[in-house]
A and B are shown apart, each in its own frame.
Chain A
Amino acid sequence: MYQFLLTGRYLASRLTPLLAVAAVALCVSLVIVVVSVMSGFLDMVRASGRTLMGDVIITYPVRGIPWYGQLIKTLEADANVAAATPVVDTWGLLRMPYPDGNAKESERIQIWGIDPDTFSAVTGFADTLMWTTVPDEVKVYLLRDALERSRSVIVSALDINARVHLLRHTAPLETAEASDAKLKSLVQNMEEGDWDVRMRIMALDGTDVLRTALNDEAWQALIAAEPRLESDDAVLNDGLRLERNGRPALIAGLHVSQANQRDAEGETEIVRNGYWWLPRFNVTLTTLPIDARGGMLDPESVSLPVANEFQSGVYLIDQTRVLVPIDVVQDLTHLDAAERVDPDDPTVVLGEDPARATMVLVRGTDGTTPAALQIKVKALYRQFELAMAQQDVLVQPPSLDLSPGLGVRTWEQQNASFIGPVEKERELMRTLFSIIYLVCGALIVAIFWAIVYEKTRDIGILRSIGAPRSGIVNIFLLYGLVVGVLGAAAGVGLGWLITTNVNVIHDALASPPAWPGWAAISVGVALFATGIVLGRGQFLLPVLLGVFALIACTTVGIGLLVLRHYGGLVIWDPSVYYFDEVPSTIDWTSAMFTAIGAVVVSVVAASIPAARAADIDPVKALRYE
């Protein structure tokens, strides 16, 4: 009882325990912020990885799984499987449209042949498409492309009024102000080659402005050549269907094209103000197919228009992966359906060699964990194997028991190579920052030691009225517990405040306003003046504190102003970390463990000065001044 009374009074009446509370709070908040940001980063990496993978992946690289359609039917018949989709995975080169001229660059890429409908059902593919509409700055280039492709058709569709309109808006001033009749007569004498240039000039004010100038027939001719000029969602639909103008098309990861660059704010900029927007162009895909015996065949190439680009959120994927219709990739890799002939007599057809997929991605129903689904998928694969064996087909699927290359993995196992390092990094940070506990403990020992020293006489008084040694120990343990609990609570609050506002703080550092700098300098000057006044020429401490405050505040203030002068400080550079924002969700599990750890450390650290307090000779303590 008396321990509670004294602990409460000691806390309320002294500055020293508040320093201990502040030390614990700072340590706890620091650990919480660091671990939360790292956990958030890991979660974002995981979420992004899963987006393009589904829950479980069946892989059989290079040779591929035959009869994968049957396998998918077997999988989808199960109540735990929401959807499954085939993928043909290979590596290749992508000949890019840039630079201008004939010497184009090539990028080394990972090619995923997909069926867009089922792929969307398994993955978050649809949500990763980068372009839902054509960027405004790109439209003028699309118009130019359309005119280059269908100039004669479009120009010949222009009626006299459209030509007058175009002329009035693109001619020198004296001509532009002429009457309609005069312009009509001028139009009659103009060459057909002028009109596409005038349309492009007018489109600089926006394709809407051009639309008002053109007659319907001319506009329809233009749209037939480039539908994306009119329909806002054409580019998105192209992406979802993996086609452009009815042709199979390719979708590239956002950073496959080096023309897409991320600025410091995380926004994507297209080099040359939209000129190198990849969906404008065709690209050439080249792969090296492998024959049935594992030998290399001649390279296969195909030219494909680009339908869209995707952004999964994982730089490694967005830098290297392209998505192509599965039948195109099966052709390129020779994994398409074919007849199997007798090697001794090629005229004898032995049977069908079916199309193959190197991966089947599986998504579980809600509530089915990837681990549980993995077990289920293995069982379903065995069922598929058995069914195919009973059908007595010429080509049998790889066996789960006999084919070492066949794997059934969760998305996390499949992505272990890039999730693993981030996980290790987080644990390393957690471990390193846990050393702060030692600092926290040392601070508490030092502060409590000073408190015991200060309270020596009180300890003597308490012993003289019957307080046992255990009672003295309990006072300081309780004191440590309260300091730990208050510090941990304040630390969790501070950690939450910083973590949830980390982007605001970061943005403020990136482009600091001037007023905090001036405010800090003003506060420093005010505190210095206060110190001088309080010192009254007699006391050194207020003056010294005033000088320290002036140095600290002006350093912060000048630092902020210098930071502002040099354009701010970007710690979380999205072009490095990829994600636009610093993860700002607090990891409550870690926060709770950190808080509990801080309380335990506080009590354990307090036990050392507590033991010293209990060992003080009461007679000597009473004589202590």
Chain B
Amino acid sequence: MSDTALLSAVGLARTFHLDRIDVPVLSECTLDVQRGEWLAIHGASGSGKSTLLHLLGGLDRPDHGTIRIGDVDFGGAKPGVLDRVRAGQVGFVFQFYHLLPELNVLENAMLPAMMPGGIGSGPGRIKAVGLLDRFGMSDRLLHRPRELSGGERQRTALARALVNSPAVLLADEPTGNLDARTGAAILDVLAELHRDGLTMITVTHDHAIAQRADRVLTLAKGRLDTATESV
């Protein structure tokens, strides 16, 4: 574990209890992510990638282990602390976009700014418009998600993830629901953000995507295989 890392996770373990059966998903996962680094976590379906990402983003809590982003330790923190982490420290991008269907593109993108710990609705609107403009969505601001293509939805989701200027962007199979061409375009956007200094963690089962990252960790049977690290 490095003191200089932006994100550190040590000894993370997570077991799900399904009916009366304990299903261990993660055990003893430890990783560091440096500021400005793009880390890809590669693994097969069911290997625990999404669970790890949820733990790193404060959406779920580990059974054991600690997580720190910057100065905030939140591995075993109370729900209020996790809410603030999700609002201000991380931005999530999901495979299925997860936009709110009743809101238009602009409202979806600026929604995190309205949360406690967000930058506020006024600044959020300006920031969201800027991000959507950057992602080529300026002519779609008032459209509803159902009126958008898959790529446009993911760009909107990206703008939403970045509106509060999070320390880390967490992307779960960001191109998993897109065709190859649209997926490549989204990867280009991610690469551009990375070049601008954004710290990113993406989880994917696709080797091609993992290869675009600075570093790749492989997750197998709930354990990170540090031996497979590559730069």
Residues of A with Cβ closer than 8 Å to B?
1-2, 5-6, 9-10, 12-13, 457-458, 460-469, 471, 618-619, 622
Contacts and interface: CB of A to CB of B under 8 A. Distances in A.
Interface centre among A2, A467, A469, A622 (most CB of B within 10 A): A2
B100 A466 contact: no
Interface of B: 54, 57, 59-60, 79-80, 83-84, 86-88, 92, 94, 98-100, 102-103, 107, 111-112, 114-118, 121, 160, 164
B112 A465 contact: yes
Given A6-B102, A13-B102, A467 B59 contact: no
Given A1-B121, A9-B103, A461 B116 contact: no
Contacts of A468: 79-80, 83, 116
A618 B121 contact: no
Of the candidates A5, A464, A468, A471, the one having the most CB atoms from chain B within 10 angstroms of its own CB is: A464
Q: Which 10 A-B pairs have the closest CB atoms?
A: A466-B87, A9-B102, A466-B115, A2-B114, A465-B112, A468-B83, A466-B86, A461-B98, A1-B114, A13-B102
A622 B94 contact: yes
A618 B112 contact: no
Contacts of A12: 102
A538 B114 CA distance: 45
B12 to A, nearest CB: 15
Contact of B98 (A13, A460, A469, A619): A460
Contacts of A618: 59-60
A619 B48 CA distance: 13
A466 B160 contact: no
B116 A10 contact: no
Nearest to B99: A461
Given A457-B98, A466-B116, A622-B94, A2 B59 contact: no
B88 A466 contact: yes
A10 B100 CA distance: 11
A618 B121 CA distance: 23
A465 B86 contact: yes
Contact of A619 (B59, B100, B115, B117): B59
Contacts of A2: 111, 114-115
Q: Which one of A13, A461, A466, A619 has the highest number of Cβ atoms from chain B below 10 Å of its Cβ?
A: A466
Contact of B60 (A13, A466, A619): A619
25 contacts: A9-B102, A9-B103, A13-B102, A458-B100, A460-B98, A461-B100, A462-B100, A463-B59, A463-B86, A464-B86, A464-B92, A464-B94, A464-B98, A465-B92, A465-B112, A466-B84, A466-B86, A466-B116, A466-B164, A468-B83, A468-B116, A469-B79, A471-B116, A622-B94, A622-B98
A499 B77 CA distance: 59
Contacts of A461: 98-100
A463 B115 CA distance: 10
A149 B30 CA distance: 125
A460 B80 CA distance: 16
B114 A5 contact: yes
Contacts of B59: 463-464, 618-619, 622
Contacts of A466: 83-84, 86-88, 112, 115-118, 164
Contacts of B107: 5
A216 B115 CA distance: 100
Nearest to B85: A466
Contacts of B99: 461
Nearest to B117: A466
Nearest to A457: B98
B103 A465 contact: no
A440 B113 CA distance: 37
Nearest to B97: A461
A619 B82 CA distance: 13
